[in-house]
Chains A and B, each alone.
Chain A
Amino acid sequence: MKDLELIRETLSAAPPSARATVQARNRLTAAIEGRRSPNRARRWVAAGAGALASFAVLAILLASYGERPGPQADPSEASAQDILLAAATQAVSRTETGRYWRVRTISVAGPIRVGEAPNAYDIVDRSVDERWIARDPSGTSWIGSRDLGCRPRSEADERAWRAAGSPAHWDFKADSESGSVRYSTAPGKGRLERLDSTHSDSRVLGIRASELPADPDELRALIAGSIAAGPDGFAPGTSGSEILLFGAMSQLLVEVPATAAVRAAAFTVLAGISGIRSTGAVKDDEGRTGVGIELVRESPDYVETHQLVVDPTTYLIMARSSTGIPAGAGEKRPVKEQRRVILEAGWTDEKPERPQD
């Protein structure tokens, strides 16, 4: 039996994280509660299912938008292209000194359905993540994090939470070692860890920050090529490729220590993505106002929305989010949601330290 053991040893993966378990259970709960029409449900089964197998895999209809109005005085009224091209112009002149590219974000993940129907409500799990990516590729990079605890997702959820006696934690049964996972409102301790040099933080789709071209056409071609060679194999120019390109450029702008010229190119690439549009003034999760830039993808079962919030005066990225909502009328509660608010992103000489209260 040695061969079978060896296969197990070589391939064996870790059990799901608490978050993966809860999100999977959420999707099942949504199905159990019959949020999808019977018609749709039958179609899923008939198709051997897998519609949501990967958000990126499906045949996709990219929502098409009409022509946007031209440049206007108020940035919140301007087109997505104008905002992004203005951001590109600004990006070129940004300061480039500092030992670390430092990014401080608040991540919000969920929703997690808790409580008993009909008084169930949604909570979200929040954490602070802080990265110091060394400019010198041989230098040490650091990652800091701190759990901020869970809180109700919306005002309506908050009312339901209070009505339920404001519980401070929620336990879920799970196929884990302890048999359950606990979500709590209590914040955790700050941690600071070394990032190993092979970590993907300074890369976009496997490409090192230092290898990213500053020419928008070359940047687009390089990333689109990388997407085409990736697991989904989307050909350049397809809507699947455009969605991943949007994600890659968002990541580049926020998380990667790229040069000012490369960041400017990334904004120009974003401006050229078809279907991109401005949603006008929006508030991020910290209540700050910016301009929303959005790309929507519709599949028969889900509507995915990817959004960036851009600061209308500095043209820095304030927030990123991705949300998947069941298609059709009725339930508009997201099945999957990932939001990040960027508190800081820029070069610094400050010394890395763990996130404080």
Chain B
Amino acid sequence: MLTEQPALHPSDEAILRESDKDPERFAVIFDAYHGEIYRYVASRLSVGHADDLAAETFLVAFRARRRFGAGGGHVRAWLYGIATNLIRRHRRDEERKYRALERAETAGRAEAGDHDDANRIVARVAASGVQRDLAAALRSLNRGDRDVLLLVALGGLSYPEVAEALGIPEGTVGSRLNRARKTVRSALGGADPTRADPTRADSYRDENRSTR
């Protein structure tokens, strides 16, 4: 049975190799992973970003498919790596989203707007203090630590997969994840007096005013 399985269900990696000669095969990879890559991007940025960046992830992967796999990697991890690279270009938007989550409680209700997807999430989670603390912690993380933490938390990637996705050693994955989780836990665990600083509750409209 085991020996027959690859023939019945070819691995992602085998499909990717086939797509070198038969590009149409790549659609199988899209059908299998577009949904979860989309959710990953939408979770870190917004649905609006996900509409473009999830599609983009597969275009990048398709065009680079011949370069994949010399080292025997995993297609899923590779896709998350590409998506993470694309997300990095929108770091300001990601931080804006965490800021929106932080101020959710004081805002009272969602400020709706054209590029304000984060606010729908704000409304949904009903903004407890815990979520506000969590958002502040996520915003305070450096980029590398945040990527590792969110690949694990949102994508469910293992250490080796994160290492593969980001092109870093497994040991580095471990230390970054530890550091990130420590930051998150301490933010959730203790009261931080600086957090109550009202100047941190900057809103979209306030930023808007300050630019005029």
User: Is B111 at the interface (CB under 8 A from chain A)?
Assistant: yes
User: Is A118 at the interface (CB under 8 A from chain B)?
Assistant: no
A225-B212 in contact (CB<8A): yes
B39-A54 in contact (CB<8A): no
- Cβ < 8 Å to B, chain A residues 225-245: 225-226, 228-231, 233
B43-A32 in contact (CB<8A): no
A12-B204 in contact (CB<8A): no
For residue A34, give the distance in angstroms from its CB to the closest CB of chain B. Answer: 8
User: Is A344 at the interface (CB under 8 A from chain B)?
Assistant: no
For residue A165, give the distance in angstroms from its CB to the closest CB of chain B. Answer: 23
User: Is A281 at the interface (CB under 8 A from chain B)?
Assistant: no
Enumerate chain A residues within 8 angstroms of B35, measured Cβ to Cβ. 15-16, 21, 174-176
Enumerate chain B residues within 8 angstroms of A222, measured Cβ to Cβ. 212
A interface residues, tally (CB under 8 Å): 58
For residue A83, give the distance in angstroms from its CB to the closest CB of chain B. Answer: 26
A53-B44 in contact (CB<8A): no
User: Is A55 at the interface (CB under 8 A from chain B)?
Assistant: yes
B116-A200 in contact (CB<8A): yes
A49-B56 in contact (CB<8A): yes
Enumerate chain A residues within 8 angstroms of B200, measured Cβ to Cβ. none
Enumerate chain A residues within 8 angstroms of B96, measured Cβ to Cβ. 231
- Cβ < 8 Å to B, chain A residues 261-301: none
- Cβ < 8 Å to B, chain A residues 41-75: 41, 44-45, 48-50, 52-55, 57
**One of A22-30, A84-92, A138-146, A154-162 at the interface:** A22-30
- The answer for the CA separation of A140 and B110 in the assembled complex, in Å, is 17
Best-surrounded residue of A24, A25, A44, A45 (most CB of chain B within 10 A): A24
A28-B27 in contact (CB<8A): yes
B89-A200 in contact (CB<8A): no
B212-A28 in contact (CB<8A): no
Partner of B27, one of A20, A32, A52: A32
User: Is B55 at the interface (CB under 8 A from chain A)?
Assistant: yes
User: Is B4 at the interface (CB under 8 A from chain A)?
Assistant: no
User: Is B62 at the interface (CB under 8 A from chain A)?
Assistant: yes
User: Is A329 at the interface (CB under 8 A from chain B)?
Assistant: no
Enumerate chain B residues within 8 angstroms of A207, measured Cβ to Cβ. 113
- Cβ < 8 Å to A, chain B residues 101-146: 101, 109-116, 121, 123, 125, 130-131, 134-135, 138
User: Is B205 at the interface (CB under 8 A from chain A)?
Assistant: yes
User: Is A198 at the interface (CB under 8 A from chain B)?
Assistant: yes
A198-B181 in contact (CB<8A): no
For residue B190, give the distance in angstroms from its CB to the closest CB of chain A. Answer: 14
Enumerate chain A residues within 8 angstroms of B82, measured Cβ to Cβ. 49
User: Is B75 at the interface (CB under 8 A from chain A)?
Assistant: no
Enumerate chain A residues within 8 angstroms of B92, measured Cβ to Cβ. 231, 233
User: Is A8 at the interface (CB under 8 A from chain B)?
Assistant: yes
B138-A24 in contact (CB<8A): no
A179 (CB) vs chain B CBs: closest residue: B31
Enumerate chain A residues within 8 angstroms of B204, measured Cβ to Cβ. 206, 229
Enumerate chain A residues within 8 angstroms of B113, measured Cβ to Cβ. 200, 203, 205-207
Enumerate chain B residues within 8 angstroms of A175, measured Cβ to Cβ. 31-36
Enumerate chain A residues within 8 angstroms of B56, measured Cβ to Cβ. 49-50, 52-53
A7 (CB) vs chain B CBs: closest residue: B153
Known A14-B47, A21-B35; 13 more pairs at CB < 8 Å: A3-B188, A8-B153, A11-B121, A14-B42, A25-B30, A44-B60, A49-B82, A52-B55, A53-B89, A198-B112, A206-B208, A225-B211, A229-B208
Chain B residues at the A interface, C-beta cutoff of 8 Å: 23-24, 26-27, 30-36, 38-39, 42-44, 47-56, 58-60, 62-64, 82, 85-86, 89-90, 92-93, 96, 101, 109-116, 121, 123, 125, 130-131, 134-135, 138, 149-150, 152-154, 181, 184-185, 188, 204-205, 207-209, 211-212
Q: List 13 A-B contacts (CB under 8 A).
A: A3-B185, A24-B55, A25-B34, A34-B23, A50-B56, A53-B86, A174-B31, A203-B113, A203-B114, A206-B113, A206-B205, A225-B211, A233-B92
